[in-house]
Amino acid sequence: MSKTENKDLVIVESPAKARTVGRFLGDRYVVKASMGHVRDLPKGKMGVDVERDFHPTYVQVRDRLSVIKDIRQAARGAKSVFLATDPDREGEAISWHIVEAAGLKGDRPALKRVVFHEITRPAISEAFREPRTINMQLVNAQQARRILDRIVGYRLSPVLWSKVRRGLSAGRVQSVALRLIVDREREIKAFKPVEYWAIGVDLSDGSSPPFKAALQKVPGERGKARIPDRERAGTVTADLKDAGYRVTQVKTREVRQKPQPPFTTSTLQQEAARRLRFGAQRTMRVAQTLYEGIQLGDGDPVGLITYMRTDSVTVAAGALADANKFLKARYGPEYAGSPRTYRTRSRSAQEAHEAIRPTSISRTPQDIRSYLNRDQLRLYDLIWKRMAASQMNDGIDDSTTADISAASPNGEYVVRATGRVVKFEGFRIVYVEARDDDEEGESQSRLPKLTNGQPLSLVKVNSEQKFTQPPPRFSEAMLIRSLEEKGIGRPSTYASIVGTIEQRDYVSREKNRFKPTQLGEVVSDLLTKNFPDIMDPGFTSGMETKLDEIAEGRIDWVPMLGEFYEPFDKQVEYAREHAERVDRSIFLEESDEVCEKCERPMVIRPGRYGKFLSCSGFPECRNSRPIIISTGVTCPECGRGELLQKKNKKKRTFFGCSAYPDCDFLTGRKPLKTPCPECGGLLTAFSRNAANCAKCKYRGPEPEVSPTEQATETAEV
């Protein structure tokens, strides 16, 4: 007898989600995991027939064949099949593909689609009370996106192979993200700094600590003071030293600071990058575990947050009421008035979805810290605080601006002092959003009580030479924010966009900022010149809007693809014939190595799996070898070889013994020169400024490297 005989079959994506949902549903249901997508377009060919209304040829994912077989067998004895995949277009498409691949058609068993935005008992019970059918509008929107991306990738990439080099790839969204980074780098290089001088004074009223005031107006000049050079700064400084100071105008006004709404996917990724130094992919991995369910003590596993792929800031009415009740009890009614609602700025946001929030506001980070690992706790803490703060009252400050006359022998200057006094912390006792480096913050100095006509004494004059700064390079948070503002990509794609351009070696990171590589600049320039529409952020944003319209049932997906394909196909054919081939010698770098076969210099070439050493006599001499970096650490296994830094085909760094294949020792963690203080074994770095010994399980601070060792290590690299 089948396990599902006279039972209902429930299909979700992951085993973790299956365990959590299964515990809530009980023995009447059998829950199985599809392990993600079960069908996709084939590898090695486009799989889209553009002549037959862009008909896709789907193939079963090789690793899912046994999964589909298992689902098919389980469905035979089931009363009903509930498709409980994620509540977005991708989840809708996975449900449809499961039905198609497993042949779940007809009246037996009955097919039902259930959607829940959090994995809690009430949410799942409600979803199973109100099942629906598969929404083919959402499925078609996902199909259109997948086909569109496949067409662009498969048609553009061969152009790059023939004009630049093999192994490169282009994408509908990733290439636009690359262009943003390249354009920003060009802005930085073209920027010409302009000198200016920041001049201010320290003043005192005789009874309070000195306070600062900045130069605002210069005698005989209209507008805000601008001091362009050292000579002018010297004149102004001398005048301010001889001036008499008197308050001429004091303005005080109440300033209210509103809390930010709960997280969307984009804002969560940005804030996790700023505060936790998490990459977008790491943020989503951790959020997935919080959503799918965590075992809390002896009870059932429970989803701790709502669905983490969303562009909506809407919060369910019940969650708002619970938050208001909890916050009033915890912080007092002065901190939590009535529930706050927020309007989503994105025109295409799916308001039926919720923002990312805790499934229960009363489940505080402190209450469950013992059940979470470090990453889970830090991210949950961020999500909890953001939600709590979003439902609290405004922060209130008194902002004071004082204009002060500086009467000198050469005329009357004006200096301005600003300060802010906190009247009520409000939501800020819980959380304040971090800032990007390109955002200016307000100074929060405290001023003494000042009155009109009050004389002040000069303590000192401050004069500092400065230069205007170029726009900063994109951090991961800034890039995601820019993509969202321009309408490029969607919540489910931000992490993969960033990961792809890095994997392709189109960008590198310097001080956690994206800098285009030479290859990235060449690819971006070639695509921008020959495919201006594809590389235009406005055009890409317009395509996203059309995909949204397909999901809403306002347009059909086949005509939309046809409208895009015809001009795009002509651009591809023209580029194949007329685009200039890139001189590949520009990618070569000199090295100190000599070819052991012909004794010509070796050069560093870019390759599909990263850079490698190649003979400069290519193609006459085809000798090549990987780039190997010495660590100066003796192999702990054989004691003869040295651990060398290498990269595998997936560009992941590892450290292996130089005596390979006689010794096959390797580690994925950076080996440290200082031995373990407890057993003398090999220490490896496992986190920032911390070390680990695999032999005795020692964990502790990373040993300090002496200046001599540091100099030697730098010279070796």
- Predicted confidence (pLDDT) at residue 80 exceeds the cutoff of 70: yes
DSSP per-residue letters across 462-498? EEEEEE--PPPPPPHHHHHHHHHHTT-S-TTTHHHHH
Distance CA 150, CA 168 (A): 15
Report, as an integer, the average pLDDT of 402-429.
94
Per-residue pLDDT, 609: 66
Find the length of the chain.
Answer: 717
Distance CA 377, CA 364 (A): 10
Residues 453-491 have pLDDT tens digits of 999 999 999 999 999 999 999 999 999 999 999 989 888
Distance CA 503, CA 609 (A): 9
Residues 498-536 have pLDDT tens digits of 888 988 889 998 888 999 999 999 999 999 999 999 999
Per-residue pLDDT, 707: 35
Report, as an integer, the average pLDDT of 126-143.
95
Helices 537-551 + 136-163 axis angle, to 10: 150
| Residue 55 structure tokens | 């008909």
Per-residue pLDDT, 581: 93
- Predicted confidence (pLDDT) at residue 235 exceeds the cutoff of 50: yes
- Predicted confidence (pLDDT) at residue 708 exceeds the cutoff of 90: no
Residues 546-569 have pLDDT tens digits of 999 999 999 999 999 999 999 999
Residues 11-62 have pLDDT tens digits of 999 999 999 999 999 889 999 999 999 999 999 899 999 999 999 999 999 9
- Predicted confidence (pLDDT) at residue 675 exceeds the cutoff of 60: yes
- Predicted confidence (pLDDT) at residue 271 exceeds the cutoff of 90: yes
| Residue 508 structure tokens | 């590198």
Confidence category of residue 590, pLDDT binned at 50, 70, 90: confident
| Residue 98 structure tokens | 């499961």
Could you tell me whether strands 29-33 and 8-12 are parallel, antiparallel, or unpaired per DSSP bridges? parallel
Q: For residues 23 and 119, is the Cβ–Cβ distance under 8 A?
A: no
Distance CA 546, CA 544 (A): 5
Confidence category of residue 108, pLDDT binned at 50, 70, 90: confident
Question: If you search the block for the tokens 């995949």, which residue do you land on?
Answer: 85
Provide the percentage of residues in the chain whose pLDDT is more than 90: 71
Report, as an integer, the average pLDDT of 428-438.
79
Confidence category of residue 69, pLDDT binned at 50, 70, 90: very high
Distance CA 552, CA 383 (A): 30
DSSP per-residue letters across 77-135? T-SEEEE---SSHHHHHHHHHHHHHHT--SSSSEEEE---SB-SHHHHHHHHHS-B---
Confidence category of residue 191, pLDDT binned at 50, 70, 90: very high
Question: What is the number of H-type helices and E-type strands within the chain?
Answer: 18, 29
Among the listed residues 511, 509, 512, the one whose alpha carbon sits nearest the alpha carbon of residue 520: 509
pTM exceeding the 0.75 threshold for the entire prediction: yes
Q: For residues 293 and 17, is the Cβ–Cβ distance under 8 A?
A: yes
Query: Where do the DSSP E strands lie in 512-657?
Result: 513-516, 589-594, 601-607, 610-615, 624-626, 629-634, 642-647, 653-657
Report, as an integer, the average pLDDT of 258-267.
95
Helices 317-331 + 374-390 axis angle, to 10: 90
Distance CA 492, CA 88 (A): 9
What are the φ/ψ torsions at residue 391 (nearest 5 degrees)? -105, 15
- Predicted confidence (pLDDT) at residue 368 exceeds the cutoff of 50: yes
Confidence category of residue 687, pLDDT binned at 50, 70, 90: low
Q: For residues 392 and 327, is the Cβ–Cβ distance under 8 A?
A: yes
Per-residue pLDDT, 710: 35
Query: Where do the DSSP E strands lie in 494-641?
Result: 507-510, 513-516, 589-594, 601-607, 610-615, 624-626, 629-634
Per-residue pLDDT, 628: 77
- Arithmetic mean of pLDDT over the chain: 89
Report, as an integer, the average pLDDT of 606-612.
74
Per-residue pLDDT, 651: 67
**Burial class of residue 158 in the structure, from the number of CB atoms within 10 Å of its CB (0-12 exposed, 13-18 middle, 19+ buried):** middle
Report, as an integer, the average pLDDT of 676-697.
79
In this structure, the number of other CB atoms found within 10 A of the CB of residue 79 comes to 14
Q: For residues 484 and 266, is the Cβ–Cβ distance under 8 A?
A: yes
**Burial class of residue 440 in the structure, from the number of CB atoms within 10 Å of its CB (0-12 exposed, 13-18 middle, 19+ buried):** exposed
CA distances from 547 to 134, 402, 516, 562, 567 (A): 18, 53, 30, 14, 19
Provide the percentage of residues in the chain whose pLDDT is more than 70: 93
Domains and CATH numbers, the chain: 8-134 (3.40.50.140), 143-190+473-578 (1.10.460.10), 195-258+395-467 (2.70.20.10), 265-390 (1.10.290.10), 589-716 (no CATH)
Residue type at 238? A
Per-residue pLDDT, 437: 55
Per-residue pLDDT, 650: 66
In angstroms, the first-to-last Cα distance of the chain is: 66
**Taking the mean position of all CA atoms in its chain, how far away is CA 433?**
16
Question: Known catalytic residues?
Answer: 307
What are the φ/ψ torsions at residue 246 (nearest 5 degrees)? -150, 135
Confidence category of residue 688, pLDDT binned at 50, 70, 90: low
Per-residue pLDDT, 2: 55
Among the listed residues 483, 360, 353, 355, the one whose alpha carbon sits nearest the alpha carbon of residue 91: 353
**Taking the mean position of all CA atoms in its chain, how far away is CA 78?**
42
